[in-house]
Chains A and B, each alone.
Chain A
Amino acid sequence: MAVDASKRLPSQENLLLDYVRRLEDHKEGRKAVRLHISKLKSYNRRDHHIRAASNSFESLIKTLKGQLFVLKNSDMFFIYKGEAHTQTETVVQKVRYLFSDDPLLEEGKDSGVFTIWFDVQTDYSEILHIVQGLVDEEKKRATEVSSRMDTRAALKAKQEQGEPLTPEVLERVETALQRTDLSSLVRRQFVCSIDKKMVPEPVFSELFISIKDLRETLLPGVNLLSNRWLFQHLTETLDRRMLAMLSKTDTFTISGDISFNLNISTLLSSEFQLFDDNITAARRGGMIIELQKVDIFADLGAYLFSREFVQEKGYRVCLDGMTYQTLPFIERKRLGVDLIKVFWDGEMVDGGEKMSAQIKEMVENAGDSKIVLCRVDTREAIDFGHSVGFKLFQGRHVESLIAEDTRRRELLRLKMRMERSEAPPED
């Protein structure tokens, strides 16, 4: 769902504290340096600055000489082995050079303001104290933000997204839906395998009703996503409309395999029976039914029954809506689904090597032809996906790759035609 309130991972502050605690018995020969990026002018603290600064430590990290922690306020803590002191000094010098235009680092300044060096063995308790302080501060900030968020976020959401969905409004929408032609609201997005050269190869496409457009058509000013349970009920009505549209093959000339979302309650309804009666066995093989994870856990028994029921008929089943947080709970094979969709989330990258390794293992367990990274809206997402073994992708960025690829082929064709017409006659 697009309205995820807050994601919570062990923060870098917590990881740092954990690391420092574990250092207690290995203090000897260790050193540390803190870079007060937070004290720089804001124009020097943009994302790309932070990235450039942290990248400078990369070779030291790769050779296992040290560990870098980038805190919420952008400060950096680098803890390293004494043998790498000279190299570290060089890197720090490089970082200082990056920010040499900042008043803090003007010629002759910085006597222990921007960089602070520690010897872990002698300064251990001081380091522990500083880090503990950072964790407390971060915790306080998070709580403040969350309580402030409550009213503020509600107001902001109302201004930006409209009035919240209420039972009364839900009833109106569902009644209206029964007589609205939704075919113009159906969108299609491709799931593609993407190779290292970023060339997309469509595998199947998902058909869905655009909630944004639905809202604009039916209920401008109402935020359909504001209550997940009411929204979930609305999707049951959308399911039935989707099934009705899919039954009318003449309105839909769809090439290739397709997928669409359904509630388990819909699979068990007479509407689905009717739909199923009207399509050929061959078409069932080209259809993938996407189920939401919350639906599966709402009634595991109902899920197991309906999965067996539709798979036996030849449909494939896809578990939709997984996140890197829920993925560890699910074994694709045990739940018996044919495919899993995982939402892309920038935090996957922020989680560092450990999370990457975890995700990689999960992709391997699921099987790389059985797991899709979706909601991919940047190149970064695909790069990350590749690095942990994903082969299949879906999302806005994939759509633009497809468009780009089509354009390229078009150009190539044009060029070939031109070359041919320029070639001298053969007689």
Chain B
Amino acid sequence: MSHGQDEASQESLLLAHLERIDGVQSGFYAIHIHLSQLRSGNRKPHYLRIAARAFENLLNNFEATLFQFHSADFLLICREVPIEEVDPVIYKLRALFNEDPLTLGEEGSLDDRFTTWYDLSQGRDYSTLKEMAAELAEEDENRRTKKAEAKAAGEASAMQGEDLNPGNLAAINRNLEGVRIIDLIHQQTAVEVVPGGKGNVLFREHYVSMFDLQKRIAPDVNLFGSSWLFQFLTETLDHRVLAVVARWDFEEMKSPISLNLNVSTILAKEFQHFHNNVGANTSKVVVEIQMIDIFSDMGAFAYARDTLQGSGYKVLVDGLSPLSLQFFEPGLLGADFVKINWSREFLGEVPSDRIVEMGKVVEQTGKDKLILSRVDSEDAIKWGLSLGITRYQGRYIDKVVNAMVSKGVI
């Protein structure tokens, strides 16, 4: 199951396997399971490991071989295995991913994009699969060469290294307490799109780029390696950011700003200090609070929200995905804004009844409260508009805003 550098790739093993049965394919068949087409969130390595285990019985008791491609696809080759033995396994896999649009098509129907079956005793199916295997094996070879070259050149991809753990956390937290932070604070504008191609600035979010922060305080540690310990670090980060922002002149500020804060920070002394500095300009500050924080102590959140709103701040609930809209109504949280993180995987594919349901949630939450963020393309805006959303934030919006500024329509 490993993809070690020196081991033969699963793709080339498949090719070898197919060549071995050339001429004696009678009784052989194959099932290609297109897990690479799952939404990226559903393609995590531990999910795939669990999915692979569903085949264990089959592999132990029958003449069956499973190949797991680098792309995340699975390919099962069987010889004289009763279909009734295979069906439940495939069914189990579909169930595991049943929130994913990939599994929506009915098994065997034209819409079924989850599996492709090959009868290898038929020459045509056999050669199709063999061609595919040859192609995959070659692709994989190229990929390995490139990776080896990159490694030699010393390139490292984002957030690699040891996971955050209690052992390295203390040192990282100390680094965070002492590190220069002001130049890591970036900003991004959230806008309301109004008819006539114009836009209104809602606020400018000020945030610390985690990627930059990692490079500065813990170059060899993946800060996202433990969600709980990461959350702990954000509490320290809050205090650092608040100390910087508290020195700003809110009187002179033209458009509102937003800050990401933990509930515990809002209830702490540091916020009092910040509040004193903001003075009568509380309406220029939006406080963004994460879902995970809210659900960890709803009572504390409600208290913080009331305190903030009572003093004139705006409260924003962050950390939702289109998926979460299918499970609860963010409107009940009593915030002024709700932010939904767009991601490419929600394009198309989603059946219309779910879209209708999401539309209802959007309606109930209040369209003027919803902001679609991480907008990276026009497609995202189209998707948002189809649900009635008119407030946006993201890389693509940054470009639009720049264009608007130069045209003077914002």
Which A residues contact B (CB, under 8 angstroms)?
Answer: 1, 4-8, 139, 143, 146-147, 150-151, 166-168, 170-171, 174, 227-230, 232-233, 236, 268-269, 273, 293-294, 296-302, 304-305, 308-309, 312, 323, 325-326, 328-331, 334-335
Contacts and interface: CB of A to CB of B under 8 A. Distances in A.
Residue of B229, B321, B328 with most partner-chain A CB within 10 A: B328
Given A325-B298, A325-B302, 4 more contacts: A4-B297, A143-B307, A230-B228, A298-B291
Contact of A150 (B41, B165, B268): B268
B229 A230 contact: yes
Contacts of B382: none
Contacts of A309: 50, 96
B408 interface: no
B165 to A, nearest CB: 8
Contacts of A302: 44
A150 B268 CA distance: 7
Give the 7 A-B CB pairs with smallest separation, nearest first: A167-B170, A171-B166, A167-B169, A229-B232, A7-B299, A232-B228, A294-B296
A312 B269 contact: no
A146 B328 contact: no
B329 A174 contact: no
B98 interface: yes
B300 A301 contact: no
Interface residues of B, number: 53
B352 interface: no
8 contacts: A1-B297, A4-B299, A7-B302, A8-B299, A229-B231, A229-B235, A233-B229, A335-B327
Contacts of A236: 228
Given A328-B332, A329-B329, A230 B296 contact: no
Contacts of A294: 292, 295-296
B56 to A, nearest CB: 10
Given A233-B228, A268-B50, A171 B329 contact: no
Nearest to B300: A5
B166 A170 contact: yes
Nearest to A233: B228
A328 B291 CA distance: 15
B197 interface: no
B92 A312 contact: yes
Contacts of B269: 150-151
A6 B166 contact: no
Contacts of B327: 300, 331, 334-335
A300 B330 CA distance: 14
Contact of B232 (A143, A227, A300, A329): A227
B310 A4 contact: no
B166 A174 contact: yes
Contacts of A143: 307
Given A309-B50, A312-B95, A326 B166 contact: no
B295 A139 contact: no
Given A228-B297, A305-B42, A329-B328, A168 B170 contact: yes
B295 A301 contact: no
B323 A305 contact: no
Contact of B323 (A167, A301, A308, A335): A301
A298 B292 contact: yes
A175 to B, nearest CB: 9
Contacts of B165: 171
Interface in B36-64: 39, 41-42, 44, 46-47, 50, 53
Interface string B102-126: 0000000000000000000000000
Contacts of A228: 296-297
Contacts of A334: 326-327
B310 A139 contact: yes
Given A166-B170, A308-B98, A5 B292 contact: no
Contacts of A227: 232
